[in-house]
Amino acid sequence: MSQHRHPGAPGRAGAVPVLPDLPEATVARLPEYLRALHNLADAGHETVSSEGLSAAAGVNSAKLRKDLSHLGSYGTRGVGYDVALLIEQIEYVLGLTQRRAVALVGVGNLGHALAGYDGFASRGFRIAALLDADPSRVGEEINGLVVRHVDELPAVAAEESIAIGVIATPAGAAQRVADQLVAVGVTSILNFAPCVLSVPEGVDVRKVDLAIELQILSFHEHRKASLTALPATGGSALTALPGGLAATDTQEAIGT
Amino acid sequence: MSQHRHPGAPGRAGAVPVLPDLPEATVARLPEYLRALHNLADAGHETVSSEGLSAAAGVNSAKLRKDLSHLGSYGTRGVGYDVALLIEQIEYVLGLTQRRAVALVGVGNLGHALAGYDGFASRGFRIAALLDADPSRVGEEINGLVVRHVDELPAVAAEESIAIGVIATPAGAAQRVADQLVAVGVTSILNFAPCVLSVPEGVDVRKVDLAIELQILSFHEHRKASLTALPATGGSALTALPGGLAATDTQEAIGT
DNA sequence: AGGCGCTTGTGAAGACGTGCACAAATCGCG
DNA sequence: CGCGATTTGTGCACGTCTTCACAAGCGCCT
């Protein structure tokens, strides 16, 4: 870490400097820091310490400092971080300086909500197209955008460069849509359908499954309940599991 | 791992056996396995190998075997896993044998979609109440449920035991709602609002932020673009960062 | 100018998660 | 009955992530 802040390489548009390859865990936290920083900026703070920022983002302060150090970091010892500068750094690294176009496929229950979600626009993204396979939905106007048929994807991609595809279709249609997105050059996909997508190498897929989150919470609920129910049992049969339970009432729930 | 399948301890309702404390990473994958297993069961498979199941769930097969071994596992060497039995095991561990009641607070854009999302009902959850702070929304009927005012939360909790609270409000209202949920005894919260919640110890919070997912994808897009733009630069200045970029056009964004 | 308090950046250690590779176990067949 | 094919369960090594603790650096006050 000899010299950062080397004056050269401003390179407004072209010549993107090579990005440091951040740990994936760090990348996942940067948006969190960014949000906290925006809040601080709105509240009028000019600088913030790692302690303060980590509290606002809900993480350990040492972790925050290490995360920021990975991107070269511009903190000042004894003072803290310049809020505005740090916002820029993170937005640059995350590639948010350009407003990326998002294509949303599947305008059902969830798709409708996503199309109207202002959190996208406010954080550097622009929904460029709404698509659906159902002809009865094509033509509908949502939030100022007209729903087009998914087969028009090539045309949409030709009109403007789609950076990210969002899949909000039923599981059965998701793989097909993913293939179509890949075919028109999309290399980043956010998948809300509860299924595994297979995509060629070089394409990033992130998955959000609302039911999975609930199931994880359910586990912890179950766990808490089982612990408070048997507070006496010290450390004896930790590996105990139901086992025989298959015979009784679960049968009617599963069956055929 | 001497003797599993010990015949005793079926204990229908009461006497919940102590759950093994699974690694968090394993818990997060169990719902994935569960979904894949349901698909296999629907397709008529009676047994499945770790290889087959791991492919369907999109994970490494060794990882899957280790995950399943943590819950005692009921595979048969040379054969594989009994699909129906494994479904039961996982559903039991995740606490899905009882249909847990969910209270959804915030019936705006996203809340509407969540209220209508059938993925909850189909995977062991039941939306027991819809709540909102906006009086103009109270009384509205969504999917057979009438929206009630959030201040009625104590009454709702008294009517039936709420296992999980889902927060789909704007960020500004989220902490307040979380406090209300905690006050009526909810110990698991799924938060869709883009903010950090502070809750007492013993309360689990999981967070889903749609914009964060996009930002993570944006980073990878940015990274891919910067790599393909400079394919010649071998391994020289890997730590290069913009740095000077603050001097030019960013100034007008910050300044004061 | 010098010292003091505060904060960053980082080395090192420990916890955690992953994946290979193989022994142990089971089934089916001759 | 024995053997080979198959598949689980797991020991081990490796990589990643987290956390502590502290030296280095910075600004302010005297």
Contact B91, B30 (CB under 8 A): no
The one-character DSSP state at A137 is T
Query: Cβ–Cβ contacts within 10 Å for residue B219, how many?
Result: 25
Residues A79 and A107 in one domain: no
- Chain A: residue nearest B117 by CA? A109
Q: How far apart are CA B191 and CA B197, in angstroms?
A: 8
pLDDT at A91: 97
Q: What are phi and psi of B194, to 5 degrees?
A: -80, 75
Question: What is the domain count for chain A?
Answer: 2
Q: Which of B5, B21, B213 sits opposite A206 (nearest CB)?
A: B213
Cβ neighbours of residue A119 closer than 8 Å, sequence gap 6 or more: B194, B209, B210, B211
Q: Do B17 and A215 touch (CB under 8 A)?
A: no
Instruction: Tell me how far apart the alpha carbons of residues B170 and B195 are, in angstroms, rounded to a whole number.
Output: 9
Same domain, B30 and B89: yes
Which residues in chain B (75-134) have CB-CB distances under 8 A to chain A? 84-85, 87-89, 91-97, 100, 102, 109-110, 112-114, 116-117, 119-120, 122-125
The residue range of the domain holding A67 is 24-93
Are the beta carbons of B88 and A245 separated by less than 8 Å? yes
For residue A251, give the chain B residue with the closest CA.
B88
pLDDT tens digit string along B210-252?
999 999 999 999 999 988 776 654 444 434 444 443 333 333 3
pLDDT of residue B20: 80
The Cα B196–Cα A58 span in angstroms is: 6
Task: Give the residue among B194, B185, B189 at the shortest CA–CA distance from B205.
Answer: B189
Examine the pLDDT at A25 and tell me if it is beyond 70.
yes
Report yes or no on A189 lying in a domain: yes
Sequential DSSP letters for A158-193: HHS---EEEE-S-HHHHHHHHHHHHHTT--EEEE-S
Q: Which residue has the tokens 């009384």?
A: B139
pLDDT at A244 exceeding the cut of 90? no
Arithmetic mean of pLDDT, A8-33? 72
**Which residue gives the smallest C-alpha to C1' distance to D24?**
A77
Let me know whether A111 and A189 are in one domain.
yes
Check whether B143 has a pLDDT greater than 80. Answer: yes
pLDDT of residue B17: 61
Q: Is the pLDDT of residue A99 over 90?
A: yes
| DSSP per residue, chain B | ------S----SSS-PPPPP---HHHHHHHHHHHHHHHHHHHTT-SEE-HHHHHHHHTS-HHHHHHHHHHTT--EETTTEEEHHHHHHHHHHHTT-SS-EEEEEE--SHHHHHHHH-HHHHTTTEEEEEEEES-TTTTT-EETTEEEEEGGGHHHHHHHS---EEEE-S-HHHHHHHHHHHHHTT--EEEE-SSS-----TT-EEEE--HHHHHHHHHHHHHHHHHHHH-SS--SS-TT----GGGGTTHHHHS--
Q: What is the pLDDT of residues B100-112, one digit of tens each?
A: 999 999 999 999 9
CB of A166 closer than 8 Å to CB of A103: yes
Residues A89 and A104 in one domain: no
* B46 has a chain A CB within 8 A of its CB: no
Residue A137 confidence (pLDDT) above 90:
yes
Q: Which nucleotides of C are covered by protein (CB under 7 A)?
A: 5-11, 16-21, 24-27
Q: Is residue B42 part of a domain?
A: yes
What is the residue-averaged pLDDT of chain A?
A: 86
Q: Give yes or no for residue B10 having a pLDDT over 70.
A: no
* pLDDT over 70, % of chain A: 82
On the question of pLDDT at B136 being above 80, the answer is: yes
Q: Minimal Cα distance from A85: which residue of B?
A: B246
Is residue B243 in some structural domain? no
The CA–C1' separation of B52 and D6, in angstroms, is 14
Asked if A58 and A140 sit in the same domain, the reply is no
pLDDT of residue A17: 60
Same domain, A140 and A203: yes
Cβ separation A110–B96 shorter than 8 A = no
Interaxial angle between packed helices B24-42 and B61-70, expressed in degrees from 0 to 180 and rounded to the nearest 10: 100
Q: Does B182 touch chain A (CB under 8 A)?
A: no
Q: Which chain B residues are closer than 8 Å to A93 by Cβ?
A: 219, 222, 241
Q: Are residues B75 and B174 in the same domain?
A: no
- Which nt sits closest to A47, CA to C1'? C7
Model confidence pLDDT, tens digit, residues A35-59? 999 999 999 999 999 999 999 999 9
């740090």: which residue's tokens? Answer: A86
Do B142 and B45 have their domain in common?
Answer: no
Which pLDDT value is given to residue A14? 34
* Residue that wins the pLDDT comparison between B247 and B201: B201
CB-nearest to B9 from A166, A214, A240 is A240
Question: Would residue A106 count as lying in a domain?
Answer: yes
Q: Which one-letter amino acid corresponds to residue A249?
A: D
Per-residue confidence (pLDDT) for residue A73, from 0 to 100: 74
Asked if residue A105 is part of any domain, the answer here is yes
The predicted model gives A98-127 an average pLDDT of: 94
Average pLDDT of the residues of chain B? 86
- Average the pLDDT over A197-226 and give the result: 96
Q: What confidence tier does B255 reach under pLDDT thresholds 50, 70, 90? A: very low
In the listed set B93, B123, B143, which residue is the last one of a domain according to the structure?
Answer: B93
Indicate the pLDDT class of residue A229, thresholds 50, 70 and 90: confident
Give SS3 for A33.
helix
Identity of residue B86: L
Are residues A169 and A108 located together in one domain of the fold? yes
Q: What is the pLDDT of residues B25-56, one digit of tens each?
A: 999 999 999 999 999 999 999 999 999 999 99
Please indicate, yes or no, whether residues B121 and B184 belong to a single structural domain of this protein.
Answer: yes
